[in-house]
Protein backbone atom coordinates (compact mmCIF):
# COMPACT_ATOMS: atom_id res chain seq x y z
CA UNK A 1 0.00 0.00 0.00
CA UNK A 2 3.00 2.30 0.18
CA UNK A 3 2.66 3.27 -3.48
CA UNK A 4 -1.00 4.21 -3.04
CA UNK A 5 -0.18 6.30 0.05
CA UNK A 6 2.61 8.21 -1.67
CA UNK A 7 0.50 8.72 -4.80
CA UNK A 8 -2.34 10.15 -2.74
CA UNK A 9 0.15 12.43 -0.96
CA UNK A 10 1.44 13.74 -4.29
CA UNK A 11 -2.08 14.39 -5.60
CA UNK A 12 -2.92 16.29 -2.39
CA UNK A 13 0.27 18.36 -2.68
CA UNK A 14 -0.60 19.37 -6.24
CA UNK A 15 -4.15 20.26 -5.20
CA UNK A 16 -2.71 22.49 -2.47
CA UNK A 17 -0.27 24.14 -4.86
CA UNK A 18 -3.09 24.91 -7.31
CA UNK A 19 -5.43 26.31 -4.66
CA UNK A 20 -6.25 29.79 -5.99
CA UNK A 21 -6.39 31.31 -2.50
CA UNK A 22 -3.67 29.56 -0.50
CA UNK A 23 -1.53 27.91 -3.16
CA UNK A 24 1.64 28.90 -5.00
CA UNK A 25 1.12 31.87 -7.34
CA UNK A 26 3.38 30.35 -10.02
CA UNK A 27 1.63 26.97 -9.98
CA UNK A 28 -1.81 28.59 -10.03
CA UNK A 29 -1.12 30.62 -13.16
CA UNK A 30 0.17 27.68 -15.23
CA UNK A 31 -1.77 26.17 -18.13
CA UNK A 32 -1.45 23.03 -20.26
CA UNK A 33 0.52 25.05 -22.81
CA UNK A 34 2.97 26.55 -20.32
CA UNK A 35 3.62 23.22 -18.58
CA UNK A 36 4.06 21.16 -21.76
CA UNK A 37 7.70 22.28 -22.35
CA UNK A 38 8.60 21.21 -18.80
CA UNK A 39 7.00 17.82 -19.45
CA UNK A 40 9.24 17.31 -22.47
CA UNK A 41 12.29 18.54 -20.56
CA UNK A 42 11.65 16.16 -17.66
CA UNK A 43 11.35 13.20 -20.05
CA UNK A 44 14.80 14.06 -21.40
CA UNK A 45 16.14 14.31 -17.85
CA UNK A 46 14.96 10.74 -17.24
CA UNK A 47 16.62 9.57 -20.46
CA UNK A 48 19.82 11.38 -19.47
CA UNK A 49 19.96 9.71 -16.05
CA UNK A 50 19.49 6.31 -17.67
CA UNK A 51 22.18 6.98 -20.25
CA UNK A 52 24.59 8.06 -17.49
CA UNK A 53 23.57 5.00 -15.42
CA UNK A 54 22.91 7.48 -12.60
CA UNK A 55 20.66 5.11 -10.71
CA UNK A 56 20.69 7.22 -7.55
CA UNK A 57 19.35 10.15 -9.59
CA UNK A 58 16.72 8.16 -11.45
CA UNK A 59 14.01 8.05 -8.72
CA UNK A 60 14.11 11.83 -8.48
CA UNK A 61 14.00 12.28 -12.25
CA UNK A 62 11.10 9.84 -12.57
CA UNK A 63 9.37 11.74 -9.77
CA UNK A 64 9.80 15.00 -11.69
CA UNK A 65 8.22 13.35 -14.72
CA UNK A 66 5.37 11.90 -12.65
CA UNK A 67 4.73 15.37 -11.26
CA UNK A 68 4.10 16.57 -14.81
CA UNK A 69 1.34 13.99 -15.25
CA UNK A 70 -0.17 14.97 -11.90
CA UNK A 71 0.05 18.65 -12.83
CA UNK A 72 -1.78 18.15 -16.14
CA UNK A 73 -4.38 15.91 -14.49
CA UNK A 74 -5.04 18.49 -11.76
CA UNK A 75 -5.58 21.27 -14.28
CA UNK A 76 -7.91 18.99 -16.24
CA UNK A 77 -9.90 18.16 -13.11
CA UNK A 78 -10.26 21.86 -12.32
CA UNK A 79 -11.60 22.40 -15.82
CA UNK A 80 -14.05 19.51 -15.62
CA UNK A 81 -12.23 17.58 -18.36
CA UNK A 82 -10.96 14.48 -16.55
CA UNK A 83 -9.04 13.52 -13.41
CA UNK A 84 -5.95 11.50 -12.50
CA UNK A 85 -7.97 8.30 -12.08
CA UNK A 86 -9.00 8.59 -15.73
CA UNK A 87 -5.34 8.85 -16.74
CA UNK A 88 -4.43 5.71 -14.78
CA UNK A 89 -7.49 3.83 -16.05
CA UNK A 90 -6.75 4.81 -19.64
CA UNK A 91 -3.20 3.43 -19.62
CA UNK A 92 -4.26 0.31 -17.70
CA UNK A 93 -6.99 -0.44 -20.23
CA UNK A 94 -4.56 0.16 -23.08
CA UNK A 95 -1.92 -2.19 -21.66
CA UNK A 96 -4.47 -4.96 -21.13
CA UNK A 97 -5.84 -4.52 -24.66
CA UNK A 98 -2.36 -4.56 -26.18
CA UNK A 99 -1.25 -7.65 -24.24
CA UNK A 100 -3.93 -10.31 -24.79
CA UNK A 101 -1.17 -12.93 -24.61
CA UNK A 102 -0.75 -12.00 -20.94
CA UNK A 103 -4.28 -11.14 -19.85
CA UNK A 104 -6.58 -13.14 -22.17
CA UNK A 105 -4.88 -15.67 -24.46
CA UNK A 106 -1.72 -17.25 -23.00
CA UNK A 107 -1.33 -19.43 -26.12
CA UNK A 108 -0.48 -16.35 -28.21
CA UNK A 109 2.86 -15.67 -26.53
CA UNK A 110 5.16 -16.12 -29.53
CA UNK A 111 7.02 -12.91 -30.46
CA UNK A 112 5.42 -12.95 -33.90
CA UNK A 113 1.88 -13.17 -32.52
CA UNK A 114 2.64 -10.49 -29.95
CA UNK A 115 3.71 -8.12 -32.75
CA UNK A 116 0.51 -8.88 -34.66
CA UNK A 117 -1.63 -8.29 -31.56
CA UNK A 118 0.19 -5.06 -30.70
CA UNK A 119 -0.25 -3.59 -34.17
CA UNK A 120 -3.89 -4.70 -34.33
CA UNK A 121 -4.59 -3.00 -30.98
CA UNK A 122 -2.87 0.20 -32.07
CA UNK A 123 -4.79 0.19 -35.35
CA UNK A 124 -8.06 -0.17 -33.43
CA UNK A 125 -7.10 2.75 -31.18
CA UNK A 126 -6.31 4.92 -34.21
CA UNK A 127 -9.65 3.97 -35.76
CA UNK A 128 -11.48 5.07 -32.60
CA UNK A 129 -9.69 8.43 -32.90
CA UNK A 130 -10.68 8.70 -36.57
CA UNK A 131 -7.04 8.43 -37.60
CA UNK A 132 -7.74 6.49 -40.76
CA UNK A 133 -4.69 7.52 -42.78
CA UNK A 134 -1.35 5.71 -42.50
CA UNK A 135 0.60 8.63 -41.03
CA UNK A 136 -2.12 10.00 -38.74
CA UNK A 137 -1.32 10.27 -35.04
CA UNK A 138 2.48 10.62 -35.20
CA UNK A 139 2.97 13.40 -32.65
CA UNK A 140 4.14 16.76 -33.96
CA UNK A 141 6.02 17.53 -30.74
CA UNK A 142 8.44 14.60 -31.13
CA UNK A 143 12.09 15.44 -31.88
CA UNK A 144 12.38 15.67 -35.66
CA UNK A 145 14.70 12.65 -35.99
CA UNK A 146 12.44 10.46 -33.86
CA UNK A 147 9.35 11.63 -35.74
CA UNK A 148 11.03 10.84 -39.06
CA UNK A 149 11.73 7.28 -37.85
CA UNK A 150 8.09 6.82 -36.82
CA UNK A 151 6.75 8.23 -40.10
CA UNK A 152 9.05 5.98 -42.11
CA UNK A 153 8.16 2.92 -40.03
CA UNK A 154 4.47 3.59 -40.61
CA UNK A 155 5.00 3.87 -44.36
CA UNK A 156 7.19 0.76 -44.39
CA UNK A 157 4.39 -1.31 -42.84
CA UNK A 158 2.32 -0.80 -46.00
CA UNK A 159 5.27 -1.51 -48.31
CA UNK A 160 6.55 2.03 -48.97
CA UNK A 161 10.23 1.44 -48.23
CA UNK A 162 13.46 0.66 -50.04
CA UNK A 163 14.05 -3.10 -49.94
CA UNK A 164 17.80 -2.83 -49.36
CA UNK A 165 20.41 -0.59 -47.73
CA UNK A 166 22.18 -0.26 -51.09
CA UNK A 167 19.25 1.68 -52.52
CA UNK A 168 19.19 3.97 -49.50
CA UNK A 169 22.91 4.68 -50.00
CA UNK A 170 22.26 5.48 -53.66
CA UNK A 171 19.53 7.91 -52.61
CA UNK A 172 21.89 9.43 -50.04
CA UNK A 173 24.44 10.15 -52.78
CA UNK A 174 21.71 11.72 -54.89
CA UNK A 175 20.56 13.97 -52.03
CA UNK A 176 24.13 15.10 -51.26
CA UNK A 177 24.49 16.15 -54.91
CA UNK A 178 21.22 18.07 -54.78
CA UNK A 179 22.31 19.86 -51.60
CA UNK A 180 25.63 20.87 -53.16
CA UNK A 181 23.81 22.17 -56.24
CA UNK A 182 21.30 24.08 -54.14
CA UNK A 183 24.08 25.60 -52.03
CA UNK A 184 25.81 26.90 -55.16
CA UNK A 185 22.82 28.19 -57.12
CA UNK A 186 19.57 28.41 -55.14
CA UNK A 187 17.94 30.37 -52.33
CA UNK A 188 18.43 29.73 -48.62
CA UNK A 189 14.91 28.31 -48.38
CA UNK A 190 15.74 25.75 -51.06
CA UNK A 191 19.03 24.90 -49.36
CA UNK A 192 17.08 24.31 -46.12
CA UNK A 193 14.64 22.05 -47.97
CA UNK A 194 17.44 20.00 -49.55
CA UNK A 195 19.23 19.74 -46.20
CA UNK A 196 16.02 18.38 -44.68
CA UNK A 197 15.76 15.84 -47.51
CA UNK A 198 19.30 14.70 -46.77
CA UNK A 199 18.58 14.29 -43.06
CA UNK A 200 15.41 12.33 -43.86
CA UNK A 201 17.40 9.88 -45.99
CA UNK A 202 20.03 9.61 -43.24
CA UNK A 203 17.23 8.58 -40.87
CA UNK A 204 16.12 5.97 -43.39
CA UNK A 205 19.68 4.67 -43.57
CA UNK A 206 19.74 4.45 -39.76
CA UNK A 207 16.52 2.40 -39.84
CA UNK A 208 17.97 -0.04 -42.36
CA UNK A 209 21.14 -0.36 -40.29
CA UNK A 210 19.14 -0.86 -37.04
CA UNK A 211 20.59 2.36 -35.58
CA UNK A 212 18.64 4.81 -33.41
CA UNK A 213 19.55 8.18 -34.99
CA UNK A 214 18.75 10.15 -31.82
CA UNK A 215 21.01 7.90 -29.74
CA UNK A 216 23.75 8.03 -32.38
CA UNK A 217 23.71 11.83 -32.47
CA UNK A 218 23.68 12.08 -28.67
CA UNK A 219 26.73 9.80 -28.60
CA UNK A 220 28.52 12.00 -31.12
CA UNK A 221 27.58 15.14 -29.16
CA UNK A 222 29.20 13.65 -26.05
CA UNK A 223 32.27 12.65 -28.05
CA UNK A 224 32.57 16.20 -29.36
CA UNK A 225 32.35 17.61 -25.81
CA UNK A 226 34.93 15.12 -24.55
CA UNK A 227 37.45 15.90 -27.29
CA UNK A 228 36.94 19.65 -27.15
CA UNK A 229 37.53 19.58 -23.40
CA UNK A 230 40.80 17.76 -24.15
CA UNK A 231 41.74 20.73 -26.34
CA UNK A 232 40.84 23.16 -23.57
CA UNK A 233 42.83 21.19 -20.99
CA UNK A 234 45.96 21.04 -23.15
CA UNK A 235 45.79 24.76 -23.90
CA UNK A 236 45.19 25.53 -20.22
CA UNK A 237 48.52 23.85 -19.46
CA UNK A 238 50.06 26.80 -21.36
CA UNK A 239 47.65 29.20 -19.66
CA UNK A 240 45.79 29.80 -22.91
CA UNK A 241 42.18 29.47 -24.05
CA UNK A 242 40.83 28.23 -27.39
CA UNK A 243 40.25 31.85 -28.40
CA UNK A 244 44.03 32.37 -28.04
CA UNK A 245 44.81 29.39 -30.27
CA UNK A 246 44.18 28.79 -33.97
CA UNK A 247 42.41 26.17 -36.04
CA UNK A 248 45.56 24.22 -36.95
CA UNK A 249 46.69 23.85 -33.34
CA UNK A 250 43.23 22.90 -32.15
CA UNK A 251 42.84 20.40 -34.99
CA UNK A 252 46.16 18.81 -34.03
CA UNK A 253 44.98 18.55 -30.42
CA UNK A 254 41.68 17.07 -31.61
CA UNK A 255 43.60 14.36 -33.43
CA UNK A 256 45.63 13.71 -30.27
CA UNK A 257 42.40 13.30 -28.31
CA UNK A 258 41.07 10.92 -30.95
CA UNK A 259 44.30 8.89 -30.92
CA UNK A 260 44.27 8.71 -27.10
CA UNK A 261 40.68 7.38 -27.18
CA UNK A 262 41.55 4.77 -29.78
CA UNK A 263 44.60 3.66 -27.76
CA UNK A 264 42.39 3.27 -24.69
CA UNK A 265 40.08 0.82 -26.45
pLDDT in tens, 181-196: 898 888 999 999 999 9
In a domain, 191, yes or no: yes
Q: Are 234 and 179 in contact (CB under 8 A)?
A: no
Same domain for 234 and 244?
A: yes
Check residue 186 and give its pLDDT: 82
Determine the structural domain holding residue 107 and report its residue range. Answer: 99-128
Confidence band of 98 (pLDDT split at 50, 70, 90): confident
Same domain for 9 and 88?
A: yes
- The C-alpha atoms of residue 231 and residue 142 are separated, in whole angstroms, by 34
Rounded average pLDDT over 154-177 = 93
Rounded average pLDDT over 215-244 = 94
In a domain, 135, yes or no: no
Same domain for 13 and 35?
A: yes
DSSP state of 243: G
Same domain for 14 and 30?
A: yes
Residue 149: give its domain's CATH number: 1.10.287.1080
In a domain, 168, yes or no: yes
More confident position, 127 or 59: 59
pLDDT in tens, 240-261: 999 999 999 999 999 999 998 8
pLDDT in tens, 161-170: 999 999 999 9
Rounded average pLDDT over 83-93 = 95
At residue 228, does pLDDT exceed 70? yes
Sign of CA dihedral 157, 158, 160, 163: positive
In a domain, 186, yes or no: yes
pTM of the model: 0.65
Same domain for 222 and 153?
A: no
Same domain for 206 and 219?
A: no
Q: Are 172 and 201 in contact (CB under 8 A)?
A: yes
- The C-alpha atoms of residue 98 and residue 121 are separated, in whole angstroms, by 6
Same domain for 246 and 175?
A: no
pLDDT in tens, 127-148: 676 666 888 888 887 888 999 9
Same domain for 116 and 90?
A: no
In a domain, 133, yes or no: no
Same domain for 14 and 31?
A: yes
Check residue 139 and give its pLDDT: 82
Confidence band of 91 (pLDDT split at 50, 70, 90): very high
In a domain, 232, yes or no: yes
Split into its structural domains, the chain has a count of 4
Same domain for 18 and 43?
A: yes
In a domain, 137, yes or no: no
Amino acid sequence: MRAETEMRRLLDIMAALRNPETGCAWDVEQTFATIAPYTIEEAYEVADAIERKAWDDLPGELGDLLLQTVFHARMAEEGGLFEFADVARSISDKMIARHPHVFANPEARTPQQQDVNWEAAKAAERARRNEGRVLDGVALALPALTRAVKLQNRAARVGFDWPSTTQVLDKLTEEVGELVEAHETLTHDKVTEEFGDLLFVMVNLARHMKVDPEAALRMTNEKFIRRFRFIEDRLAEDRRTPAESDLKEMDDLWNRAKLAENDAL
